[in-house]
Amino acid sequence: MSNLTCASGEASASSGNRTEIGTDYSQQYFAPPTTQTQPPLKKKRNLPGNPDPEAEVVALSPKTLLATNRFICEICNKGFQRDQNLQLHRRGHNLPWKLKQRTSKEIRKKVYVCPEVTCVHHDPSRALGDLTGIKKHFCRKHGEKKWKCDKCSKKYAVQSDWKAHSKTCGTREYRCDCGTLFSRRDSFITHRAFCDALAEESGRSVAGTGTGIGLGIGNSSETPEAAHAGMMISSASATHDEDIFHGLKEEQQSLMAPWVGAPSSSFFSPHENPNPRGGPTLPHMSATALLQKAAEMGATMSLTRTHQQQQQAHVCTNAALDLSSREDQMTPTLLHHVINSFSSPFQGTSFDHTFGGCAPKTTTAHAAGNNNSEALTRDFLGLTSLSHNDFLNIAAMGNCINNQTQNPWQG
DNA sequence: CTCCAGACCAGAGGGCTATC
DNA sequence: GATAGCCCTCTGGTCTGGAG
């Protein structure tokens, strides 16, 4: 505290002093505004290490720069952040005290030099303009770098620098062939493992009868990569929520019945389309809303399905099955066709017949009226990440669908 | 006189951004 | 990308005025 100038009796800074000082300081370099109508010019930042020659040069010790309560009471050794606080504290010890006087004319700019003699900012001509700056500088250049990035192991001495770095570290994009973007290389590699496996499964399915659910939300002529693009959206959900949302919207577009506004596709046969090209006569519900409603209805689904069906129903087919069995004839009608569109090779058969009992078991319990409807809906929409098993299950379900045309084992 | 809530004030910490 | 300047908010010690 020996070289501190804070208690030197100079003008006390009033509220907003830093702003005022900054303004005064800038006015040394800029002519005062001539008109009041001019928009305020953006104050040009002072060049680093280019201090005001009139400013008082303050040399703080390294200890002081790293200290928090640097104003210590010599009686009780209590530390204070401000000299004024210390002075007022001294009153309690019946010691002489002196509060700073508020005489604005004594306000004098301070500049701070780095105590490290080898540092360029040790020279008063290269002193830094504010206390925060010199503290950050000293900590960055001469302090211990105790903040380490867990992604790239880069170390920082200033926590804010570390936080700023952490925000951007690993933001480089890795793009999969399916179009999914990843910020982390490890995530990308993991995804590619799924993606490749899925493409292989998809290829087998396509080689069979055609489109499998989840693999071919689009029409069956799509490439394997494009065919499972929608699923890849799910796989990326943990790291790219916005992309997911965007992708989901696209998926919704593809899910949306053509008469709702989606481009024409082979999803719906004219036979099945209850409202072909007739414009949006149905209530305008998003696919999300439709599917959520489907899930809600699934919670109260009828008990007409057999126990076997319930055991074998898949997470993806759960909501869809429920849809087709709804007594509600408004939305479910649309939903029924939407869901049936997934099974375009089976147009003309009910969704129950198409998917009922064909899917492999999953870890998701499918008890009627269970509380998983929301989660199921989210999974169905790809709002939650699908596990590897989910991918394989869906892929296997595609095969199952294909096989079912030859083996309709539902009674 | 004591207690308490609000005000005052400046440092600390962090974020943003211009500059190198 | 690193560094440093600027600005903002939060925090903590103390003062102040009103109520009991």
Q: What is the 3-state secondary structure (H, E, C) of chain A?
A: CCCCCCCCCCCCCCCCHHHHHHHHHHHCCCCCCCCCCCCCCCCCCCCCCCCCCCCEEEECCHHHHHCCCCEECCCCCCEECCHHHHHHHHHHCCCCCCCCCCCHHHCCCEEEECCCCCCHHHCHHHCECCHHHHHHHHHHHHCCCCEECCCCCCEECCHHHHHHHHHHCCCCCEECCCCCEECCHHHHHHHHHHHHHHHHHHHHHHHCCCCCCCCCCCCCCCCHHHHCHHHHHHHCCCCCHHHHHHHHHHHHHHHCCHHHCCCCCCCCCCCCCCCCCCCCCCCCCCHHHHHHHHHHHHHCCCCCCCHHHHHHCCHHHHHHHHHHCCCCCCHHHHHHHHHHHCCHHHCCCCHHHHHCCCCCCCCCCCCCCCCCHHHHHHHHHCCCCCCHHHHHHHHHHHHHHHHHCCCCCCC
Please give the pLDDT value at position A83.
Answer: 57
Among protein residues, the one whose C-alpha sits closest to the C1' atom of B14 is A160
pLDDT range class, residue A93, cuts 50, 70, 90:
low
Give nearest nucleotide to A132 (CA–C1'): B12
> Which residues lie below 8 Å from residue A1, measured CB to CB, with a gap of 6+?
A64, A70, A71, A72
pLDDT range class, residue A112, cuts 50, 70, 90:
confident
User: How many of the other CB atoms lie within 10 Å of CB of A18?
Assistant: 12
Among protein residues, the one whose C-alpha sits closest to the C1' atom of B17 is A45
Among protein residues, the one whose C-alpha sits closest to the C1' atom of C8 is A19
Is the pLDDT score of A122 beyond 70? yes
- Higher confidence at residue A18 or residue A166? A166
Average pLDDT, chain A: 46
Among protein residues, the one whose C-alpha sits closest to the C1' atom of C7 is A19
Yes or no: say if A157 and A145 are a contact pair by the CB < 8 Å rule: yes
Average pLDDT value for residue range A249-277: 34
Please report, rounded to whole angstroms, the spatial distance between the CA atom of protein residue A165 and the C1' atom of nucleotide C6: 20
Which positions in strand C are less than 7 Å from the protein's CB atoms?
1-8, 12-15
Please report, rounded to whole angstroms, the spatial distance between the CA atom of protein residue A21 and the C1' atom of nucleotide C9: 19
- Higher confidence at residue A362 or residue A154? A154
Please give the pLDDT value at position A72.
Answer: 61
Is the pLDDT score of A190 beyond 60? yes
Please give the pLDDT value at position A359.
Answer: 35
Give the residue carrying structure tokens 């700073």: A100
Give nearest nucleotide to A51 (CA–C1'): C5
pLDDT range class, residue A54, cuts 50, 70, 90:
low
Please give the pLDDT value at position A408.
Answer: 33
Distance CA A60, CA A406 (A): 85
Please give the pLDDT value at position A118.
Answer: 72
pLDDT range class, residue A240, cuts 50, 70, 90:
very low
Which positions in strand B are less than 7 Å from the protein's CB atoms?
8-20
Among protein residues, the one whose C-alpha sits closest to the C1' atom of B19 is A47
Distance CA A142, CA A116 (A): 8
Is the pLDDT score of A346 beyond 60? no
State percent of chain A over pLDDT 70. 5
Please report, rounded to whole angstroms, the spatial distance between the CA atom of protein residue A89 and the C1' atom of nucleotide C3: 38
Among protein residues, the one whose C-alpha sits closest to the C1' atom of B7 is A15
Please give the pLDDT value at position A407.
Answer: 39
Is the pLDDT score of A47 beyond 60? no
Please give the pLDDT value at position A113.
Answer: 73
Is the pLDDT score of A201 beyond 50? yes
Is the pLDDT score of A287 beyond 70? no
Among protein residues, the one whose C-alpha sits closest to the C1' atom of C3 is A137
A163 touches strand B (CB under 7 A): yes
pLDDT digits (tens, 9 = 90+) for A296-318: 444 334 333 333 343 333 333 33
Burial of A44 (C-beta count, 10 Å sphere; 0-12/13-18/19+)? exposed
Please report, rounded to whole angstroms, the spatial distance between the CA atom of protein residue A183 and the C1' atom of nucleotide C10: 33
Please report, rounded to whole angstroms, the spatial distance between the CA atom of protein residue A136 and the C1' atom of nucleotide B15: 14
Average pLDDT value for residue range A174-195: 58
Q: Which of A374, A387, A391, A386 is nearest to A291 (CA)?
A: A374
Please give the pLDDT value at position A147.
Answer: 67
Please report, rounded to whole angstroms, the spatial distance between the CA atom of protein residue A232 and the C1' atom of nucleotide B10: 54
Is the pLDDT score of A144 beyond 50? yes
pLDDT range class, residue A59, cuts 50, 70, 90:
confident
Spell A79-114 as b/e; 16+ CB within 10 A means b.
Answer: ebeebbebbebbeeeeeeeeebeeeeeebebbbbbb
Is the pLDDT score of A271 beyond 60? no
Among protein residues, the one whose C-alpha sits closest to the C1' atom of B16 is A164
Please report, rounded to whole angstroms, the spatial distance between the CA atom of protein residue A174 and the C1' atom of nucleotide C8: 36
Is the pLDDT score of A67 beyond 50? yes
Using a 7 A cutoff on CB, list residues near strand C: A 18-19, 22, 25-26, 43, 45-50, 80-82, 85, 88-89, 91-92, 121, 128-130, 132-134, 136-137, 140-141, 154, 161, 165, 168
Give me the count of residues in chain A: 411
A164 touches strand B (CB under 7 A): yes
Please report, rounded to whole angstroms, the spatial distance between the CA atom of protein residue A91 and the C1' atom of nucleotide B2: 20
Please report, rounded to whole angstroms, the spatial distance between the CA atom of protein residue A128 and the C1' atom of nucleotide C9: 23
The CATH code of the domain at A54-94+108-167 is: 3.30.160
Is the pLDDT score of A356 beyond 60? no
A100 touches strand B (CB under 7 A): yes
The ranges assigned to domains in chain A are 54-94+108-167, 170-203
Q: Which two tokens stand for residue A366?
A: 């499918």
Q: Which of A172, A16, A46, A14 is nearest to A111 (CA)?
A: A46
Average pLDDT value for residue range A120-144: 70
- Higher confidence at residue A123 or residue A220? A123
Among protein residues, the one whose C-alpha sits closest to the C1' atom of C11 is A81
**For residue A57, which phi and psi values (nearest 5 degrees)?**
-90, 125
For chain A, the straight-line distance linking the first and the last C-alpha, in angstroms and rounded, comes to 90
Residue type, A336: H
Average pLDDT value for residue range A181-207: 59
